[in-house]
A and B are shown apart, each in its own frame.
Chain A
């Protein structure tokens, strides 16, 4: 909701066709204490979450930036979406965390195996606001490199190696099929 939405925002402004998803069972947001997160169902509008948090502890959620984030998100799309539920096909799936990468692969593996290739790439980005912003830039750079390639399937190996050397973060990549 933070990193992916930041990237979604940034990439769509650059004119790419982007969608953003979560992979967990529920939408979880930090709460008043580490053991008491705010949990919502996918499909709960950002607006509702926003109102909910506003009412719960306006001061806390303003301070930790959640309200600001939700405000941004509700202007991008109405509600959080779950990757496993979408049937849409993509050319490229970017993840920001190895756990999510695994879940995406698991989800795609479970589908009816077809022939359309999709590249799944993971760039490690920590879940905080600053990293999310940096991450969005990195993703945008990677995406623009890929978009400029005439033959992505052929170039991606090299491209990722270059990119990895440049951004100094571990990259995971695999090729799956719809």
Chain B
């Protein structure tokens, strides 16, 4: 604005140049548009003379990038041409280019402009004194565009169709003749203005064209899928035509009646309301026109149907004077038989027979007449009864909105109205007497073939006429009208046009509810015998959809897994087919899709498994789970990890999962995977899990399957024991150990051994591995190994060649292990010869550790045992006890009695005979007391035998008296026997061995008063010694002797008596030293008395006194 003000002084031309420059340089679209509009204002309203100078410059903007600028150019062209028609020739080409513009807005603007310019062009031609070449080419161009626009009535864009309808309206009005009662408007153009002499645009030809176009327009108006906006535009246009060209009014009213009876089914409720309202307004408008008088009855009934009040209708009715002003058209047609009008009429009438609409109308009225005659009350009742079953349960939405109460039911008028409605519907579908008589074939919007035929008819019927009446010298022009007709007149069903893509949410929710319906239809499908099909459908659907939908199906299956598991399988197989590319859908499946298909498969599989795990019915759950794993086409990795977690996390699922894996391990391709699952869990913390897995593994191992892998794994674990600290892979939730353990605890040590020890039984060769590891392991671990090795070794048995080999080749450091093993083996069974030999070899050649021999003692010879006995008893008392146990057969099962190289007697005697240089007395004493503790073995008889045998030895064993004493204390009943021994000891001159003599004295002390008889037999000096040693014996002894009868006392030597009486103590002592030789003599003398004494004295037992 500023610029313009500044430049006010300059000439308009300069201003325009300035504006053009700025429009060209302006980058902003809106500013360009503004500049162009200013130019338009300046030129058209201020200096039209400049138009010619600048039109080229402005039309140059038609190539601008901006649609708005192009639109402005079109507007300029339109205005310019209205001012100066001569410009038409110049700009038509630009318009033709713009008509092919990609922008819908520009396209619409061009059509709008052409709607105006068509009229202008005709005017230009009509006024021209002679037709120039330019005019002709312009007209040709316009005709081409006309046919192009005519086709746009089927354009994809609603707005373009609307504008095209208006274009039709304009052509129809401007290419027909007005009638006296036509409503005339300013600027209206009609054929009246076209001179008959105009060669390039013959009025007759133009009128024919208009006839065809109104037919098209009415067909469009009645098409089934017309949009609400188009329909209203169409109605408006038809109303305009009806008013401007009353000759079409009849047909237009019929068309509207048809529309009323057959509203497009695609309209929504409110659109129906709008359309009905619009229809009402249009009919009221038509009713106002005097020419509608003949049809006013029809129109009024229609209006009443549409809800118009009588007042409204009356208000719209023209006054009688007005009607009277115009004669009835029928009469008028007869009146006007002369003059140019007659000629025009004739042309019009000529054209009519071609017109399908007229045929239709005729058929309609014949049918209507027929119905009126036949529509009795009874017929009506029959019709209603017939139709009743077909009435839907629910009121269709637009019924309620369109229904108006029947006001004049039963009157002839209403019957006629109903008849007309029925007739129009019948005619539409091609039935009724009218159709038969006239030969009308219906042309339904959705019946393409009919339309095609009809179009062909139209062309063939019209074309010859053109050829007849036309100048053959100008074929270019002659061809144009056919072009107009040839455009696709049928309203093809364009799906893209009448349906809108659903919103994603809508789409999804509809798909979801569809799926849900299929899911719900289980029973119905079963009853209908299509359960299998349904399953197939569901499987395919579930496969094709994603996410939520899959969840839905999973949920559905899980609500009754037992009966729906088949669906699950069918689904899995479907998914699998996708993965493998078996389906036809998957022919396009590329690698990336394949990956997603794999993902989808595994997610489905996992969610099925996971959901199944949650089932409460345990038996069913197990059954289904194992089916799922065994019968699925493929178990994804995720499935394996679920299996793994089932194994180690859920105690209830362990059994079933082990069974599953056990089966799966036999699948060749995946063997290792499943084996690995088992192996990993073989060191599980929880006993139940572990033992189940281990038994499964050993079973597999025993069957020879995958032996090597299991073995390697076991050895690998075994070797972990040599590491500084336990490897991390032993810990973790899947092993039942949630915390990381960094030291070799008992548990973790065991964990490394479980599997190994489990299969050791089956493959004894492995024992060598164990030995090697044992050698290098630290003390703690060694101890644990020793503890754990028991069971497995027991199972091996002594005969095992591997074991014997181990014994033979025992690696250095593994001796303890070996001892332990041998121990275990010989615990219950006597050592075999082979074992004994090997052990003996080790002992003799390599490791002189007597402990080696312990387990095989029983297998050794007597001599050998005796030779190692001193060493043996030097061991830990517990060990000694065990050794004796073995020798005595008291260890282990009582039933396990096997020959011992030494009898208990022999053992005890051997102990007594151990040389004190080899072993100190204390140790021997301990060993003997161990023997005494075995009271089951060392009964009084055994001890008596031992003592007897010891007595026979010479010299007497040092420990003899100790043994005697102990035996006595254990078995007091032995006292008699002991007396016997004591007596024999005297004979053996017991006093000569100091230790034994001490023991003798002790024994006498213990066994008093029984021992008195024996004591009295001692040589006096030794008696004296005895009494000296234990003075407390003196008095009892004296009393004992005193209690004797004199006769008895007579047998006691004098010396002895002296000693007893305390006399000759010294002599006794002296004699003890000097008369050593006489002892033998003395000893002999008392002997005969022994038995006598014995017999007499024995009865009073020590306990009884």
Contacts and interface: CB of A to CB of B under 8 A. Distances in A.
A102 B115 CA distance: 27
Contacts of B274: 171-174
Nearest to A154: B158
Contacts, number: 91
Given A113-B240, A115-B112, A175-B232, A151 B281 contact: no
A117 interface: yes
B500 interface: yes
B270 A170 contact: yes
B281 A109 contact: yes
Given A112-B185, A160-B270, A152 B229 contact: no
Contact of A112 (B105, B163, B187, B278): B187
A134 interface: no
A152 B159 CA distance: 8
Contact of B273 (A106, A112, A114, A170): A170
Contact of B116 (A106, A115, A119, A175): A115
A43 B268 CA distance: 41
Nearest to B187: A112
A115 B273 contact: no
Contacts of A119: 229
Interface string A104-131: 0110010011111101000000000000
Interface string B211-248: 00000000000000001110011001001100000000
Interface in A153-178: 153-158, 160-161, 164, 170-177
Contacts of A170: 270, 273
A153 B159 contact: yes
| Most-contacted residue by chain A among B104, B167, B170, B236 (CB, 10 A) | B236
Contacts of B742: none
B240 A171 contact: no
Interface in B74-109: 104-105, 108
A155 to B, nearest CB: 8
Contacts of B301: none
Interface residues of B, number: 38
A177 B165 CA distance: 11
B271 interface: yes
Contacts of B229: 119, 153, 156-157, 173-175
Contacts of B116: 114-115
A148 to B, nearest CB: 15
A173 B227 CA distance: 12
B166 interface: yes
A115 B115 contact: yes
Interface residues of A, number: 31
Contacts of B162: 117, 153, 175
B111 to A, nearest CB: 8
| Most-contacted residue by chain A among B105, B186, B268 (CB, 10 A) | B268
Given A151-B105, A177-B236, A157 B281 contact: no
A142 to B, nearest CB: 13
B163 A173 contact: no
Contacts of B232: 174-175
A112 B186 contact: yes
Contacts of A164: 268, 270
Contacts of A173: 228-229, 270-271, 274
A161 to B, nearest CB: 5
B236 A109 contact: yes
Given A170-B273, A173-B274, A157 B240 contact: no
B372 to A, nearest CB: 34
Contacts of A172: 270, 273-274, 277
Contacts of A153: 108, 157-160, 162, 229
Nearest to B111: A115
Given A172-B273, A173-B274, A177-B166, A157 B112 contact: no
A119 B162 CA distance: 12
Contacts of A158: 500
Closest 7 CB pairs of A and B: A153-B159, A115-B112, A154-B158, A115-B115, A174-B232, A175-B229, A172-B274
Given A113-B169, A115-B163, A174-B229, 9 more contacts: A109-B285, A113-B185, A153-B157, A160-B270, A172-B273, A172-B277, A175-B233, A176-B236, A177-B166
17 contacts: A106-B281, A113-B185, A115-B116, A116-B112, A117-B162, A151-B104, A155-B158, A157-B229, A157-B271, A161-B271, A164-B270, A172-B273, A173-B229, A173-B271, A174-B236, A176-B236, A177-B166
